[in-house]
A and B are shown apart, each in its own frame.
Chain A
Amino acid sequence: MKIAIASGKGGTGKTTLSTNLASYLAESRKVVLTDLDVEEPNSGLFLKSELFFSEDKYKMIPEWNKVDCTLCGECQDNCNYHAVIQVVDTIMVFPELCHSCFACSELCPTNSLPMIPQKMGELQHFKTKNFDFIESRLIIGEEQAVPLIKQTLDYVDSQFDKDVVKIYDSPPGTSCPVIEATKDADFIILITEPTPFGLNDVILAIDTMKELKKDFAIVINRFGIGNDDIIKYCEENKIDIIAKIPNQRAAAELYSKGELMYPKIPEVKAELEKIVKYLESQVL
């Protein structure tokens, strides 16, 4: 069972919901939480855990071997990303532009561009008191999150059985990293805040999930600020709102310290219970 937490807008509570929901569910089920926001992974800041396993993650990039190269220029023509460029009598490779498609390498008539691994990030697998937690972080300067997200998902699939509840903390936005993080999920929870920015961005996220043909529902965070437009929007479009986490300064303060909310704020625990009931009726 795979449940992804996504949002469109950043800072609406993806990590808060992911960590609290994972911890709460782990009181009664086997759970693994995975942080797929590889650009800025934060879930681990809220969990007490011990490192169980870690490994570097690599992407494959071409490396020019000039010995047999005839400077025919095919590699440059075969690269759609301008990551391989011929400058006079040198072939230059720009790894940050490379998508690891292998075309330049495998179509080179003299095998002068063998693919070599280049580190793009690190995966870490932690154990908390009652659940597993996995995060990957992209090396600063590496631009593409998608290959690291893909390898992280593969790791989780290889380590855990199908019946384990898998929760994925997704990156913000609506572009390729979010698609990669949500496309294999069985259910998506979109978390938003009841503000004009929150509404604008959750509509983009809703459209994305419709495009991906995903089942999803909404959780409203910081309920009580802003206005009711999100509720009207969901009513008109027949979208389920499964919980409303109240706006409280105490919640912001706990968050700032890196603490979970539900053990200390009963209203948050009550909303988590609603989410779990809903998930049980839909997918769990």
Chain B
Amino acid sequence: MKEIVIISGKGGTGKTSITASFAVLAGKDVVVADCDVDAADMHILLQPENKESHDFFSGELALIDQDACIQCGKCDDVCRFDAIDVTDGIYTVDEISCEGCGYCSKVCPTEAITNESLNVGKWHIADTRLNQPFVHAKLGIGADNSGKLVAQVKNIAKEVAEENKKPYVIVDGSPGVGCPVVSSLSGAHFVVLVTEPSVSGIHDLKRVYELVKKFHIKAGCIINKSDINLDKTDEILEFLRSENITHLANLPYDENFTKAMTERKTIVEYGDSNSNSEIKEVINSSWNKIKNILN
């Protein structure tokens, strides 16, 4: 079983549209995982039906028992996150600032502080409208630990793939280079970098690839909206050559991506058999290139 992760550094370059297109092309061969757990969108295109749902507990939150609290202030002294609020001599925990380190509870002389496990979100095993296994999740508002939820979604997706003897897991990652992205890269066999020929697209591609290199994962790149700025597209191609990244495809700037999305379809399913035929062909050939590299 091979795991393919699609990331971009910069948001809005077309990761999810392309990942969902790969999922449609791969048909029965895949388990799909949406690891952009704080702004998940793939369900819009793949319209899954949840088969099972689970709460996800991660991290802790301090809670002060007012009856036991003697207002000594030791918790406030040790908290590095400004998470202890003191109003009129009453000590309470600011839930948004508390990082659940538990230091306060360890220094409280009356054991007035307990740590509650936090329900930070939900994860689901579903079937897409094409009857493919789909694992996705939703992080609670403002919750911490998105990296851990990403790891959970990936692990479940891999288990489902093993059980059902699926050769590929396709993972839609999140923007950035921080903890959710690090989690989504861990254990991957191939990374697809989706970029666009703009100053920010290139800047973010270079940063996220620096991260990919630390994991020693092979990478390929799709340049979306490649005709928006041909000089920048050349600059990206030069970067791909210098880093030995496989150039998978150039996709044109095409509002059919958005039109397909508003019909809750992927671009490879949109329109009649002749329209977008070039885009469909390019995405299909990218998917075949990835399979060839992996096998």
A227 interface residue per 8 A CB criterion: yes
Q: A172-B39, A175-B143, A204-B39 are in contact. Are A12 and B199 (CB under 8 A)?
A: no
A208 to B80, CA, bound (A): 24
Chain A's nearest CB lies how many Å from the CB of B76? 14
Chain A's nearest CB lies how many Å from the CB of B171? 17
A177 interface residue per 8 A CB criterion: yes
Which residue of B is nearest A174, CB measured?
A: B38
A171 to B9, CA, bound (A): 12
Which residue of B is nearest A39, CB measured?
A: B176
Contact A256 B232, beta carbon cutoff 8 Å? yes
Contact A80 B102, beta carbon cutoff 8 Å? yes
A226 interface residue per 8 A CB criterion: yes
A contact residues around B16 at 8 Å (CB): 197
The 16 listed contacts between A and B (C-beta, < 8 Å) are A9-B12, A39-B178, A40-B203, A45-B200, A46-B199, A96-B182, A172-B11, A172-B176, A174-B39, A175-B144, A176-B142, A200-B44, A208-B142, A226-B258, A252-B228, A256-B201
Partner of B101, one of A81, A174, A204, A255: A81
A contact residues around B208 at 8 Å (CB): 40
A195 interface residue per 8 A CB criterion: yes
A78 to B102, CA, bound (A): 8
B contact residues around A144 at 8 Å (CB): 178-179
Interface membership of chain B positions 151-181, coded 1 if the CB is closer than 8 angstroms to chain A and 0 otherwise: 0000000000000000000000011111111
Partner of B80, one of A11, A100, A212, A257: A100
B289 interface residue per 8 A CB criterion: no
Partner of A173, one of B39, B144, B232: B39
Q: A9-B39, A45-B200, A138-B178 are in contact. Are A212 and B96 (CB under 8 A)?
A: yes
Chain A's nearest CB lies how many Å from the CB of B167? 28
Which residue of B is nearest A207, CB measured?
A: B141
A122 interface residue per 8 A CB criterion: no
Q: A11-B11, A225-B258, A255-B198 are in contact. Are A99 and B101 (CB under 8 A)?
A: yes
B contact residues around A103 at 8 Å (CB): 78, 101-103, 106
Contact B214 A140, beta carbon cutoff 8 Å? yes
Q: A172-B11, A257-B199 are in contact. Are A212 and B101 (CB under 8 A)?
A: no
Chain B's nearest CB lies how many Å from the CB of A226? 5
B contact residues around A208 at 8 Å (CB): 141-142
B210 interface residue per 8 A CB criterion: yes
Which residues, 69 to 109 on B, are CB-close (under 8 Å) to A?
A: 78, 80-81, 96, 99-103, 106-107
Contact A10 B101, beta carbon cutoff 8 Å? no
A106 to B106, CA, bound (A): 11
A179 to B11, CA, bound (A): 18
Contact A101 B80, beta carbon cutoff 8 Å? yes
Interface membership of chain A positions 40-65, coded 1 if the CB is closer than 8 angstroms to chain B and 0 otherwise: 10100110000000000000000000
A102 to B104, CA, bound (A): 11
Listed in ascending order, the chain A residues whose CB lies under 8 Å from chain B are 8-12, 15, 37, 39-40, 42, 45-46, 78, 80-81, 96, 99-103, 106-107, 138, 140-145, 171-179, 183, 195-197, 200-201, 204, 207-208, 211-212, 225-227, 249, 252-253, 255-258
Chain B's nearest CB lies how many Å from the CB of A102? 6
A15 to B175, CA, bound (A): 14
Interface membership of chain B positions 188-228, coded 1 if the CB is closer than 8 angstroms to chain A and 0 otherwise: 00000000111111011001101100100000000001001
A204 to B96, CA, bound (A): 17
Chain A's nearest CB lies how many Å from the CB of B62? 11
Chain A's nearest CB lies how many Å from the CB of B69? 20
A32 to B146, CA, bound (A): 31
B261 interface residue per 8 A CB criterion: yes
Contact B175 A10, beta carbon cutoff 8 Å? yes
Chain B's nearest CB lies how many Å from the CB of A96? 8
B contact residues around A195 at 8 Å (CB): 258, 261-262
A40 to B211, CA, bound (A): 12
Contact A196 B78, beta carbon cutoff 8 Å? no
Contact A175 B146, beta carbon cutoff 8 Å? yes
A contact residues around B11 at 8 Å (CB): 9-12, 172
Interface membership of chain B positions 245-263, coded 1 if the CB is closer than 8 angstroms to chain A and 0 otherwise: 0000000010100100110
